[in-house]
Chains A and B, each alone.
Chain A
């Protein structure tokens, strides 16, 4: 449904995307993960038709947005970050406006607006001005706008940002309902949230693809990516050799009189600690280090 190959985007001298490729099949719900500034929004914007890539191939439902931009836009419902809205328009009025812009024929418009209002639970506020709604409702209006016209593809940029957990659940439920019927690509920088809804996750960092896979796989790798900081009272090479010999240890990096030990979890700390004791080394310091997302992704890229 969506195909992206070697996608790059430069703004002036700044490279926002340095070459990304992925494919999304029809009916999939895919999460788009990455730290802030990774290029998620830029990619989503390209897919939504806001601007073209600097180079690379994009296919939306088989069409090339450079050749058939309007047709591609019609196939995609977009929800931008921070859910922009016109404060002075009423919900129904706004959705009608969107329906017109999306070229829904007059005969079907009313029904379509009613449909998305119902789908997003906006019946109670349909007559109120969007500016007077709570953030949760506004986000729903944004989703309704994306759903309007029933596009086969939905591209959502951080649809749950700033919402309270209850509201987040609602959005997630909504997205979940679309699985199979629609292709959904939504972005987030919270893995936990993504893994509950998505079948697949694409990870992007610093403008490049950092990894791809099902949430389970990712979780595994994350779980597999633990790190501890170790200081032992032992002759230099001995401790290191012992550490490297440990099963599941992937890397031993000496630094500052100690070692960063990376390896498979769970509970690497215990493993290392026991190994040191049994090796006769006195453990001076053993600290579990949290891996930042950056490092996770980096590891995902390097595959270790």
Chain B
């Protein structure tokens, strides 16, 4: 499985598209950081720990939503199109290892990008003490959210041989989990109550504010495991469905 992770990482880091994506990610992240900071300082923000990072994390969440489908769409769709997936199935490699390997590789890539956003607290640190608490909570939340989105994208990528279809459907599904509770005026109060626990993005809110609720951690983990499980089932279905 490690070999698979290495291969995926090699493919990611040797593709010019990836560097472009990463650069755009950092450029936008940096821009948001600057505008959030300016706004906050302008408003006489006393202590950044009380509220600033919240906005930054919300913005990073948005960036993740945009970025992740672009990273996950190739995971299985490309292999299927190339025909190399069939070959993988002739090596002494379990299906679960294939799923895990691709998942971990993509997650590592996203993790590296999140690590890059660690620049922002570093930039603030010389000017004001940065409380670690909210940062820990926020990044933990982002990490779990990223895992959930990657798992979702991985699954959808396993269903098709077209990267385009994989990417588009991942956007669609993730957006669904977002807009679920977006417009409270349109959705009734009762529906809101029922749907809210499923919304990936509402689950992230507490992390951004600086607290870790075990139930939110649990939901994001459950979400991830569910989609990894679905991916495994999708791969496994070749045994009776054939390779198409």
Binding site for B on A (CB under 8 A): 10-12, 16, 45, 48-52, 54, 70-71, 73-74, 76, 78, 80, 82, 84-89, 93, 97-98, 100-103, 145
Contacts and interface: CB of A to CB of B under 8 A. Distances in A.
Interface stretch (B79-87, B108-116, B122-130): B79-87
Contact of B84 (A10, A74, A86, A103): A86
A82 B83 contact: yes
Interface string B83-102: 11011111111100000000
Interface string B217-230: 00000000000000
B43 interface: no
Interface string B7-32: 10011001100000000000000000
A78 B240 CA distance: 20
A119 B7 CA distance: 24
Contacts of B42: none
B84 A49 contact: no
B239 A49 contact: no
B115 to A, nearest CB: 24
Contacts of B241: 11-12
B102 to A, nearest CB: 13
A255 B4 CA distance: 62
A17 to B, nearest CB: 12
Given A45-B243, A73-B90, A89-B10, 19 more contacts: A11-B242, A12-B241, A48-B89, A49-B90, A50-B90, A50-B238, A51-B89, A51-B239, A73-B93, A78-B90, A80-B87, A82-B83, A84-B84, A85-B82, A89-B7, A93-B10, A97-B6, A100-B2, A101-B3
A50 B82 contact: no
B interface: dominant SS: helix
Contact of B94 (A52, A70, A89): A70
Contact of B92 (A74, A80, A86): A74
B91 A101 contact: yes
Contacts, number: 80
A103 B6 CA distance: 14
A84 B86 contact: yes
A44 to B, nearest CB: 10
B14 A88 contact: yes
B91 A73 contact: yes
B238 A101 contact: no
Contact of A97 (B3, B14, B89, B94): B3
Nearest to B11: A88
B170 to A, nearest CB: 22
Nearest to A42: B242
Nearest to B15: A88
A87 B243 CA distance: 21
Contacts of B3: 97, 100-101
Nearest to B236: A51
Contacts of A70: 92-94
B86 A50 contact: yes
A20 B91 CA distance: 25
6 contacts: A48-B90, A51-B89, A54-B240, A86-B82, A89-B7, A101-B88
A127 B94 CA distance: 30
Residue of A12, A50, A74 with highest tally of chain B CB at under 10 A: A50
The 6 A-B residue pairs with the shortest CB-CB distance, nearest first, are A84-B83, A100-B3, A78-B90, A11-B242, A48-B90, A70-B92
A146 B115 CA distance: 39
A86 B80 CA distance: 11
A101 B11 CA distance: 16
Given A11-B240, A73-B91, A102-B91, A80 B7 contact: no
